Structure 1
């Protein structure tokens, strides 16, 4: 065995050991090792590419999986790490890629996968830092409070537990009160119900710039899921100065806008149109700038939702709506593709028992569920600290763990990944596929032949979403009749452009040709493949 082979073997063994020993979400180095391992296993079917580096110097990786030329198959994109505190999305993207390469390589003969495991690597890194907090923004410095200074009022870990949580300050002028069913939780007091506020709450830290606001301009950066073009949230924290202002956004869209074979995008984010499908709204659909899913796409979304709910039961699923500038909204409204989004996991509702009643408050209910499931450190107990900004008040630091409500215990990740792999394979089974069927030839005399054929979409999904068709951006179906010098086309067109075919849809086409020899029929569109037939007249 030569040194190169020995080194490769040692790398593979190290990766296997890391996988077996994994007990927590993977950091940047472990994600990179996993990607290289998947690419190595995939061989010619896998290509790992860095689209760009963020301002924090981290790679935006793309793993392309395809048997043959990627552009020759309909494509699905999978986006993880869209939100920096959603580590589960990165794990799901990695595990789905691993499963496709290892267990389902046959799907790559007809489907290309473009997998982006972590689109917020600057933000995700905060989970592995000495001081952890739920960060969304990248490493771009920003002036969130618009005072001319950049990142000057960051968090401070006042109780030195390695986490940034919340501060509660006892104050009779406060707006918050303790929740009766779980006094660890604070809720807004309602004077109309005779409730009095006794606390003020802040994020953990100091008022560094002495403007009366805490941590309003820290390591904010630009949020990946706020910087897209649809419904861009101007002048809000994390959105950036303008849409697609960041190098990672530009690199991603520069690539995607050249991939005509893409027909679907799965995004792991808070938005959720898989547990509960989007509803058509005539008013929103009729606007010049459309804000509602279109009628035909509503039916497709419902079909996909039904398939998803069979694998991932919708019990207690959040009806998360996108908040503007999101990747999910862009992928449908501006990119015109079949758009799917899910957080991938959500805590079950604690139903209570004969001893413990189910709390109505969301956080209190989660804590009851976490206790029943043995989830550790879901809540950081309140701890009194001396605070220079509140010298005459009792100040305590604690609250919900910043990552626990979005990311399940790591032991659950494998089973969640399997369900989502099964789902995306189901989507691939449904994908549009052009076929030329029911070919008929009829001799009509004078060396004339009539050819009739059905152009059929063998998939359950349409060749174009209604939004994609409306946008006029997606390429149309082209049908070519290719003749030689021995034939003359009497009726019909040598090239016909078809707008779209619905799922399981069919269009009958016919030509009249004079002459002998062979002709070729070809129907092609990038997102549904190519079908050809050679006909001997």
Structure 2
């Protein structure tokens, strides 16, 4: 027994030590794999497997957290790394899993969690490369400019600072000007207000294929968050030739479509329907192909959004970014689940003082620079530096801008409280999940060997058993109520099996049967995503 305790203590100590080391920065693919393996080996409630390898040779991991009959307990999927530049999402998903295993095992009594920490490992690895640039796509070679050549116009690090920023070219025919509150930031000239452009703006590099476009066909691949089936944007760079064209997308969907117990998906990504709920649009909701959240689901989204804002407490969220083919929208519109998404962090709005020029349009980049300066950060901006450029002889060309990844990912030292609050929020949603029970059971003898049974199937959760979209989905099973008979028993009235489309939270569905015979019958009710309940009833 002493040996087992010592082994457990050693595993716990090593796990703690590695967490301390990894807490210095975000994890690369190798570090993430080691961290997940350590977590899985520390608990019988955690199971780790690779669901596929990307074209870049990176594992896409799935961590299952659960106890008992996991497949027949309500479940949530927690998904990070849907956007390759969003390393925070990967970290938040892993920290959620670590919190469950280390501090909150009781959460697994009623709920199973499927955690997919990083769906874009090829892209997130660019953060750790010698040349750092914001990357969203996987390792597939692509012909984004459709000229018959692959990856022929990549980025170039013109100023040798190890990262790709922007390039501004002074030219009266340009559409860009400097921001009035901070001349480091570029904005488009508003000609309706009499503003005149002064610059062209490009990503840092050269026009290698001489087609007039800069860096439009470098390494980039297919974006996980642009290649799902809902609102897929054909012929768009990063989207792929068709929906779900990539190994990582297909592998995730193959898993999710077998997990009938999932009732909600929590995504850490650029989409945000938690700070502000999706809005119902009658025109979009009544189309043959629905493009708006349905009315009842808008109300549900507002309820959960209120819980999020109260728990997490973040304010002044930027507008939600939802490209066509996004995962968050697919999870709702095509998978029928409660779909929740948040970037988890954005630079808080800085209140200007008398020494600052007024940021009248609340420009997010201007605000980020002020926040970074206020926090004493370093290396968050590459100062505009003039240089000669072969594509613009005799013209003033400057390279500079906000460092890649920074606006989406705070320093990791700042996210402890943020992760804790998001973990708390997910637990709050789990407490709201639908849960059915049979109550108010009544039996009455009506003569001639017959018994009337009446019962209420009650949903004691706050959430409905199905979202409104879920009632339309073939991928979410209806609530099944089955009356199981013994020998010599017969149903005189009522159905042996009843399928119920949905039961609202804190609501019930009454059921009644007339049974002929003696002994006892069994009533079973439920569905994988809400759990099951049963009761034995003695006939009179």
Q: TM-score, normalised by structure 1?
A: 0.96
Instruction: Give the match for residue 93 of structure 1.
Output: 93
What is the correspondence of 1:416-495 to structure 2 with a 5 Å cutoff? 416-495=418-497
Give unmatched runs, 5+ long, in structure 2: none
Instruction: Give the match for residue 145 of structure 2.
Output: 145
CA contact (8 A) 1:91 1:413 kept: no
CA contact (8 A) 2:63 2:115 kept: yes
The alpha carbon displacement at 1:516 in A equals 1.7
What is the correspondence of 1:88-487 to structure 2 with a 5 Å cutoff? 88-360=88-360, 361-487=363-489
**2: CA distance between counterparts of 1:415 and 1:339?**
24
Distance 1:190 1:489, change over 3 A: closer
CA contact (8 A) 1:64 1:114 kept: yes
Instruction: Give the match for residue 40 of structure 1.
Output: 41
Distance 1:4 1:394, change over 3 A: farther
**2: CA distance between counterparts of 1:76 and 1:333?**
17
Q: Which moved more, 1:482-491 or 1:87-96?
A: 482-491
The alpha carbon displacement at 1:5 in A equals 11
CA distances 1:169-193 after superposition (whole Å, capped 9, x unpaired): 2223322222232111222223443
CA distances 1:501-526 after superposition (whole Å, capped 9, x unpaired): 11112011111122221111100211
Distance 1:485 1:282, change over 3 A: same
**2: CA distance between counterparts of 1:212 and 1:10?**
60
Instruction: Give the match for residue 26 of structure 2.
Output: 25
CA contact (8 A) 1:140 1:221 kept: yes
CA contact (8 A) 1:144 1:220 kept: no
Secondary structure of the 1:466 match is coil
**1: CA distance between counterparts of 2:7 and 2:206?**
50
Secondary structure of the 1:264 match is strand
**2: CA distance between counterparts of 1:367 and 1:350?**
10
Instruction: Give the match for residue 519 of structure 1.
Output: 521
Give unmatched runs, 5+ long, in structure 1: none
CA contact (8 A) 1:167 1:398 kept: yes
**2: CA distance between counterparts of 1:519 and 1:308?**
44
CA distances 1:324-364 after superposition (whole Å, capped 9, x unpaired): 10001100000000011110111111111243354233211
Q: Give the paired residue count.
A: 536
Distance 1:510 1:221, change over 3 A: same
Q: TM-score, normalised by structure 2?
A: 0.95
**1: CA distance between counterparts of 2:499 and 2:396?**
73
Q: Which moved more, 1:514-523 or 1:5-14?
A: 5-14
Q: Which moved more, 1:202-211 or 1:336-345?
A: 202-211
CA distances 1:133-184 after superposition (whole Å, capped 9, x unpaired): 1100000110000000111111111111111001112223322222232111
RMSD: 2.0
CA contact (8 A) 2:15 2:39 kept: no
